[in-house]
Structure 1
Amino acid sequence: MIKKSLLVLLAIALTTSCVSKKIFSDLENKYTELKKERNALADENETLKNVKKEAELLKTDLEKTKAERDKLTTDYAASSNNLKALKSAYDALEKNSGEALQSNLGKNRELLAQLEAKEKALAVEKDRLNKLNADLKDRSDRVNELEGLIASKEASMKKLKETLSKSLKAFEGKGLTIQQKDGKVYVSMENKLLFESGSWAVGAEGKKAVVAVGKVLGDNPDISVLIEGHTDNDKFAGSVGQIENNWDLSTKRATAIVNIISENAKVKKENLTAAGRGEYSPLMSNDTPEGKSKNRRIEIILTPKLDEISKMLNEI
């Protein structure tokens, strides 16, 4: 419409040669303003179109939201009804089980008290067990240490026996025997090697054997030495007044052996003991000459120092 009006005005202006320049300029300005107005209206029209599209989209979203709202309303109503039903069921269950619950609560309290008492007893027993385990380990360690010490003593006594066997090899078959038993070493010398009948004086050959024993003992100063004199059961028939009986004779013979061993300065005198056993510890029956000969003897019993072992045994 505006465009047509402008065209008419321009046509009039062109046909009328007598129109002044001022009028033409005013018309041209008017045309420019109208053109601007047209462009503004076109932009406004485009904006309205966009607004319309957005309104249509909002309407669609609104409808969708209403549908979701309606569905949520329906779900809420269903859930509310379910909740009411569950609450009613729970109230009924609570009402019906109240007495049983109280009874169970009482039993549970009693069981809890018993459980606490047992837990305390268990803790006490656990502490006792831990102490026993500690004591057992301590004792086990001591036993292991003791076994090691005993094994060491056994080994040293075995070595001592071997040393004595080498030192006394010259007297083999002359009534001298050496054996190791019960942790000790036994050197047995028959009287035929040492004494004349009824005498306690040691012969030359026998003295060599005793001196050899003393030399080995001098190299092993921690060995306890018990010298025992033994006789057969024949009554002593020597000089009256010097020897009273076999017991007295066996003691004097043991003492004679102690005196010879003591001649070695390296032997500790406090480790030596003389004892007379008389006829009361025979090796064989005295009913035969062979038995009597075996029973007439000197036994040198070598024992390792057991003070340390005894102390450990008392501590176990």
Structure 2
Amino acid sequence: MKKILIICAVAAFGASCVSNKTFNSMKAQALRAEGELASANTRIEELGARNRKLTDAVEELKKDTARLSADYLYLNQKYKKLLADGSAEAARMLRQIEESQNELSERSQRVDELEQMLRAREESIAAIRRKVADALLGFEGKGLSISTREGKVYVSMEDKLLFRSGSFEIDPNGARAVRDLAGVLAQNPDINVMVEGHTDDVPYRPNGQLKDNLDLSAKRATTVMRLLLENGEIAPERIIAAGRGESLPIDPAKTREARAKNRRTEIILTPKLDELMQLMDKE
């Protein structure tokens, strides 16, 4: 994956209009933001790996449970036969049966706990999608779509809803959609947010403020982030803004329609599942 440029606070002035001191300060802030995004992406990748590990663990526990159930039935039958024969082996077999039964009980409880956590994760994601869909009902089909992928909810807004060509000033209609989404986020503090700006592959003409498509996508992402943060009930640390430029197209074709799809801003919502993460850490 190509390098992600993160801009959490991009100045609105051109490089020619600022002093070296201010320019260096802006560069330092950008580097810090890039580090924070890299850390966040690493955490997302770790969570995805842990989720896969947890799912595999559930399957293994189910297999172990089935095996222990079969062992228990075998030992119980053998014990009853030995007991009927009056064998001195009966006492040892009884202890072995009790140990197997205890282990079986612990394994079954563990499987139930893990499956409950996985169901809670799926239900949380489905609930987020419903809330977002309800809040943005009037915008779906008008340049806005909502989908669920890899345990996250994606709210994708096309440029025709948010920005004019080559601009990072948000359209009033698009601003209303973002503010409606901010209302959902304010009422659900257990949701983290990643705002990603995307462009097509048509070269951007530098204008003194921005250099290329990467700059444009980052500036658009921070514009949406700032609009979300106008809602004072949303903590800034919940949101990360990133510019991806033309690196992740939806449609790689060189047609007008494909490029229109690729010009978008994606707001990615991820539920905080602290209990599940703690359980995964124990594995």
Aligned pair partner of 2:125 in 157, 162, 167? 157
In structure 2, how many angstroms separate the alpha carbons of the residues matched to 1:310 and 1:137? Answer: 24
Q: Secondary structure at the match of 1:278?
A: coil
The reply to whether residue 292 of structure 1 matches residue 273 of structure 2 is no
In structure 2, the partner of 1:197 is 165
Instruction: State the 1:156 CA deviation.
Output: 2.5
Instruction: State the 1:181 CA deviation.
Output: 2.7
In structure 1, the partner of 2:273 is 306
**Aligned partner letter, 1:199:** S
In structure 2, how many angstroms separate the alpha carbons of the residues matched to 1:154 and 1:139? Answer: 23
Aligned residues: 192
Q: Secondary structure at the match of 2:188?
A: coil
In structure 2, the partner of 1:232 is 200
In structure 1, the partner of 2:236 is 269
Aligned pair partner of 2:137 in 157, 169, 187? 169
Gaps of 5+ in 2: 1-88
1:47-100 superposed Cα distances (whole Å, 9 cap, x missing partner): xxxxxxxxxxxxxxxxxxxxxxxxxxxxxxxxxxxxxxxxxxxxxxxxxxxxxx
Aligned pair partner of 2:181 in 182, 200, 213? 213
Q: Secondary structure at the match of 2:275?
A: helix
Q: Secondary structure at the match of 1:189?
A: strand
Structure number with greater Rg is 1
Moved more, 140-149 or 216-225: 140-149
Aligned pair partner of 2:218 in 239, 248, 251? 251
**Aligned partner letter, 1:250:** S
Moved more, 261-270 or 302-311: 302-311
In structure 2, the partner of 1:147 is 115
**Aligned partner letter, 2:135:** S
Aligned pair partner of 2:250 in 259, 263, 283? 283
In structure 1, how many angstroms separate the alpha carbons of the residues matched to 2:279 and 2:114? Answer: 7
**Aligned partner letter, 1:281:** L
1:223–1:271 contact (8 Å) kept in structure 2: yes
2:206–2:212 contact (8 Å) kept in structure 1: no
Alignment RMSD: 2.5
Q: Secondary structure at the match of 1:237?
A: coil
Instruction: State the 1:188 CA deviation.
Output: 0.3
Identity of aligned residues (%): 45
Instruction: State the 1:140 CA deviation.
Output: 4.8
In structure 1, the partner of 2:56 is none
In structure 1, how many angstroms separate the alpha carbons of the residues matched to 2:101 and 2:242? Answer: 46
Gaps of 5+ in 1: 1-118
In structure 1, the partner of 2:30 is none
Structure having greater relative contact order (Cα 8 Å, sep ≥ 6): 2
- Scaled by the length of structure 1, the TM-score of the pair is 0.56
1:176–1:187 contact (8 Å) kept in structure 2: yes
**Aligned partner letter, 2:116:** G
**Aligned partner letter, 1:293:** A
* Alpha-carbon spacing, 1:132–1:183, altered in 2? closer, same or farther (3 Å): farther
Q: Secondary structure at the match of 2:244?
A: strand
Instruction: State the 1:130 CA deviation.
Output: 4.8
2:196–2:266 contact (8 Å) kept in structure 1: yes
In structure 2, how many angstroms separate the alpha carbons of the residues matched to 1:261 and 1:181? Answer: 22
Instruction: State the 1:137 CA deviation.
Output: 5.3
